[in-house]
Amino acid sequence: MRRVRIADLIASPEEIGELRIFLAQGRLVAIPTETFYGLAVDPTSREGVRRVFEAKGREEGKPVPVIFATRKQLEELGAAPPDDVLARYFGIWPAPLTVVLPLKKPIAASGDRPNLALRIPACPELVRLLEAIGPVTATSANRSGETPLTDPDEVARIFEGAVDLLVDGGPTPGGRPSTLLDATMDPPVVLRPGAFSWPGR
């Protein structure tokens, strides 16, 4: 497993270029988020998403959340909520709030469902990285049924041989996972309470 500090990665066009190639090839990358480390692949890559499930030891076919940085990236993923709905969440993001939004058509990360869980993470360095490489999955870095990881050394130990690149951001804060909100319903429904305090929860 190769390992690179997130600050060094962001500062190097060559490293960014290599990471883009990695993701296009369906390779698996571990990244720091505002809560735990996550497993990142191109969300449109079936091979990449398959490798996420394989690494976690989890049954394939379930949707995995995606993080992104810009409205253009969201549009390129095919998210298709009404403008007023989208404006509401862009007024909140970046935040540990993952929102399920409708898609024009399913993609690999959505598990062939017409909806996708999305957020702009509350981690400035990660947002800068996403601006450069585009959206990636961000399901928590842990074996199925085990505690999500906050320590890059533990990520390296547990996922040796499964993860191709570890983006090292040092220890992450941990705590509660991002709040998961289903915005395909009106009013939106909290599917998982978490680090973001949604009104009324």
CATH of the domain at 54: 3.90.870.10
Is residue 200 a part of any domain in this protein?
Answer: no
Is residue 201 a part of any domain in this protein?
Answer: no
Is residue 198 a part of any domain in this protein?
Answer: no
Residue 83: exposed, middle, or buried by beta-carbon count in 10 A (0-12, 13-18, 19+)? exposed
List of the chain residues with pLDDT < 50: 201
Residue 50 has a pLDDT of 96
- Tens of pLDDT, residues 108-123: 999 989 999 999 999 9
Give the number of domains in the chain: 1
Residue 136 has a pLDDT of 98
Is residue 46 a part of any domain in this protein?
Answer: yes
Residues 56, 159 contacting (CB under 8 angstroms): no
Residue 199 has a pLDDT of 82
DSSP state of 160: T
Domain of residue 43, residue span: 2-192
Strands 37-40 and 29-32: antiparallel
Is residue 117 a part of any domain in this protein?
Answer: yes
Is residue 136 a part of any domain in this protein?
Answer: yes
Which of 151, 163, 155, 149 minimizes the C-alpha distance to 1?
163
